[in-house]
Amino acid sequence: MYEGVVQDLIDELGRLPGVGPKSAQRIAFHLLQSDAADVKRLADALTEVKAKVRFCEICGNVAEGEQCRICLDARRDGSAICVVEEPKDVVAIERTREFRGRYHVLGGAISPIDGVGPDDLRIKELMTRLASGEVTEIIIATDPNLEGEATASYLARLLGPMGLKVSRLASGLPVGGDLEYADEVTLGRAFEGRRLLDV
Amino acid sequence: MPLYRDQAIVLRTQKLGEADRIVTLFTRSLGKVRVVGKGVRRTKSRFGARLEPGMMVDVQCYEGRNLDTVTQAETLAPYGDAIARDYTAYTAASAMLETCDRLTEEREPALQQYLLLAGALRSLAERSHDPALVLDAYLLRALAIAGWAPSFHDCARCGAEGPHRAFNLASGGSVCPMCRPPGSAAPAPETLELLAALLAGDWVVADGSDPRHRREGSGLTSAYLQWHLERGIRSLRLVDRETRVDTRRSDSPAVELGGHADRPSTTPVAPAQTGHRA
Ligand SMILES: [Zn+2]
Ligand SMILES: [Zn+2]
């Protein structure tokens, strides 16, 4: 145990996801030895992020105003919505530069064992967005684990009767890996989602 | 024994750190163990889907000071994957896995519970029966293995031969007119027949049952389960009843589930219209 404020800092850092007690201590001492200006920049960034950043009223992504950058961008295709679990998934898909539509952030996946049901996610908000008829395609990009799969099953059942084009991101083999290391479910999905080669 | 190998069903997973998970395994011979799956959340993890809830695997673990670590896992039956593709089955499976977690103790072998869960998951994965019936059959039999077998025919108190009209949770099921505590429920006789069939594994009777009696039976089953457990089963509230929604309004009398005097924390359930809501 350290004295007063140093221990307070270690305790606060230790509450962050993925930071254990040892890491918290290391970060705390790193900060103590850093320039005052560097630490101030970090402190300002922390304060500002809480003061300025909100969640987009349309899609639920992080936003600096009432709406996020993507919802405000008129060049994006308003007929397609990609449904994701978390704002960080928006960032991951944006990095691919494959998708030019807009997003909808659910805020998690359906997990009955954790008490999270459909009503705890932003599914009602998604249905509201579909009411105008502008959207014709939904791409479900929930996590490729069983909770994400079950959430996709729920959405597919809900969206099916609405006459939209509904697709789910393909699951497949990780690029750069060896086939023999793939588990049966991943390999099975890769078979299901196989594509024709141009010959 | 620093290294052990066993057959196991994944009951649940919880995030740990950046990319790891704590995986609750229900093993065939050791009982329930909590192990760390290192790097399982990375898309390139060699475990892939093997350590997801509802999967049956052949695992090898290394004993650690606090938690053991999975070193190898091979799929025996990918029930979880088949189940997640059907939302109704997924919610039923979630309630089964949570109940199993609650009824078992760490490192206490429970082979009967293991075999029961494996059979129920297979049934959901293969779409053999209405998922809600599979769930109720599982719950009743899991409770019976735990020593709380309800009676749906003879009087649970004095053994007088049934069938009896009254049903009382605290007494353990059907009760004769002599033993019947005030506030006992009076479910439809067909509902009690259905529950007896589910407990006995008589699927011909169960599959042929009326949706109205399935609904009433589910209400009684979940109330009976919650009665025996200290805390409620969270997943039960979220069990998807869509496949069995019946547009006819039930005309059976609201079931009273009285007799909670010595267990004030348990909330009675009104089963007929609301499904599982405890
Ligand atoms: Zn937005
Ligand atoms: Zn009696």
pLDDT at A66 over 90: yes
Please state, in angstroms and rounded to a whole number, the distance separating the CA atoms of residues B205 and A157.
30
Q: Tell me which residue of B24, B7, B172 sits closest to B103, measured CA to CA.
A: B24
CB-nearest partner of A146 from B44, B80, B98: B80
Q: Can you give the length of chain B in residues?
A: 278
Band (pLDDT 50/70/90 cuts) for residue B249 is very low
Please state, in angstroms and rounded to a whole number, the distance separating the CA atoms of residues A105 and A27.
32
pLDDT at B9 over 60: yes
Quote the minimal CA–CA distance from B231 to chain A in Å: 13
**Average pLDDT, integer, range B19-45:** 91
pLDDT value of residue B271 = 38
Amino acid at A125: E
**How far, in whole angstroms, is CA B42 from its chain's centroid?**
31
Neighbour tally for A43: CB within 10 Å: 11
**How far, in whole angstroms, is CA A164 from its chain's centroid?**
23
Q: What is the DSSP string of chain B?
A: --EEEEEEEEEEEEEETTTEEEEEEEETTTEEEEEEETTTTSTT-TTTTTTSTT-EEEEEEE--SSSEEEEEEEEEE-HHHHHHTSHHHHHHHHHHHHHHHHH--BT---HHHHHHHHHHHHHHHTT-S-HHHHHHHHHHHHHHHTT---BSSS-TTT---S--SEEETTTTEEE-TTT--TT-B---HHHHHHHHHHHHT-HHHHHT--HHHHHHHHHHHHHHHHHHSSS--GGGGG---GGG--SSPP-SPPPP----TT-TTSPP--HHHH-S--
> Per 3-state DSSP, what percentage of chain A is helix, strand, and coil (rounded to 5)?
50, 10, 40
Q: How far is the CA of A57 from the centre of ligand 1 (A)?
A: 7
pLDDT value of residue B1 = 54
**Average pLDDT, integer, range A50-67:** 92
Quote the minimal CA–CA distance from B52 to chain A in Å: 7
Largest separation between any pair of C-alpha atoms in chain B: 65
Question: B238 contacts in A (CB within 8 Å)?
Answer: 110, 112, 115, 117
**Average pLDDT, integer, range A138-143:** 96
Q: What is the three-class DSSP state of A147?
A: helix
C-alpha distances in angstroms, B272 versus A22, B207, B276? Answer: 54, 19, 9
pLDDT at B73 over 60: yes
A178 touches chain B (CB under 8 A): no
B49 touches chain A (CB under 8 A): yes
According to DSSP, the residues that pair with B22 across neighbouring strands are B14, B36
Full-model pTM: 0.82
pLDDT value of residue B258 = 37
pLDDT at B264 over 50: no
Between A189 and A88, name the one with better pLDDT: A88
pLDDT value of residue B259 = 37
Please state, in angstroms and rounded to a whole number, the distance separating the CA atoms of residues B196 and B179.
20
Task: List all residues of chain B from 26 to 45 with a beta carbon under 8 Å from chain A.
Answer: 43-44
Please state, in angstroms and rounded to a whole number, the distance separating the CA atoms of residues A74 and A70.
8
Band (pLDDT 50/70/90 cuts) for residue B46 is confident
pLDDT at B250 over 80: no
C-alpha distances in angstroms, A147 versus B82, B94, B121, B129, B201? Answer: 12, 10, 16, 23, 30
Contact call for A150 and B95, based on CB within 8 A: no
Please give the backbone phi and psi of residue A16, each rounded to the nearest 5 degrees, phi first.
-75, 150
Question: B52 contacts in A (CB within 8 Å)?
Answer: 145-146
∠ at Cα B16 (B14, B21), nearest 5°? 55
Band (pLDDT 50/70/90 cuts) for residue A1 is low
pLDDT at B260 over 70: no
Question: B12 contacts in A (CB within 8 Å)?
Answer: 113
Q: How far is the CA of A61 from the centre of ligand 1 (A)?
A: 5
Q: Is A51 exposed, middle or buried (0-12, 13-18, 19+ CB in 10 A)?
A: exposed
For the ranges A96-105, B13-22, B142-151, the lowest mean pLDDT is seen at B13-22
The token pair that represents B236 in the structure block: 């039960």
Strand B56-62 with B20-27, pairing? unpaired
pLDDT at B228 over 50: yes
Question: A153 contacts in B (CB within 8 Å)?
Answer: 84-87, 90
CB-nearest partner of A183 from B49, B86, B237: B49
Contact call for B87 and A144, based on CB within 8 A: no
CB-nearest partner of B94 from A112, A145, A184: A112
A89-137 confidence digits (pLDDT tens): 999 999 999 999 999 999 999 999 999 999 999 999 999 999 989 999 9
Half-sphere exposure of B230 (CA within 13 A, CB side): 2
pLDDT value of residue B163 = 93
Residue where the block lists tokens 């909670």: B260
B238 touches chain A (CB under 8 A): yes
**Average pLDDT, integer, range B245-265:** 37
Question: A185 contacts in B (CB within 8 Å)?
Answer: 48-50, 75, 78, 81
Q: What letter would DSSP give residue A62?
A: E
Band (pLDDT 50/70/90 cuts) for residue B58 is very high
* Domains of chain B and CATH, by start: 3-81 (2.40.50.140), 129-274 (no CATH)
* Domains of chain A and CATH, by start: 4-52 (1.10.8.420), 75-168 (3.40.1360.10), 171-199 (no CATH)
A164-194 confidence digits (pLDDT tens): 999 998 887 877 778 887 888 888 888 888 8
B91-105 confidence digits (pLDDT tens): 999 999 999 999 999
Amino acid at B270: A
**Average pLDDT, integer, range A4-10:** 90
Q: Across all residues in chain B, what is the average pLDDT?
A: 86
Band (pLDDT 50/70/90 cuts) for residue B213 is very high
B95 touches chain A (CB under 8 A): yes
A37 touches chain B (CB under 8 A): no
A92 touches chain B (CB under 8 A): no
Q: Is B125 exposed, middle or buried (0-12, 13-18, 19+ CB in 10 A)?
A: buried
Band (pLDDT 50/70/90 cuts) for residue B245 is very low
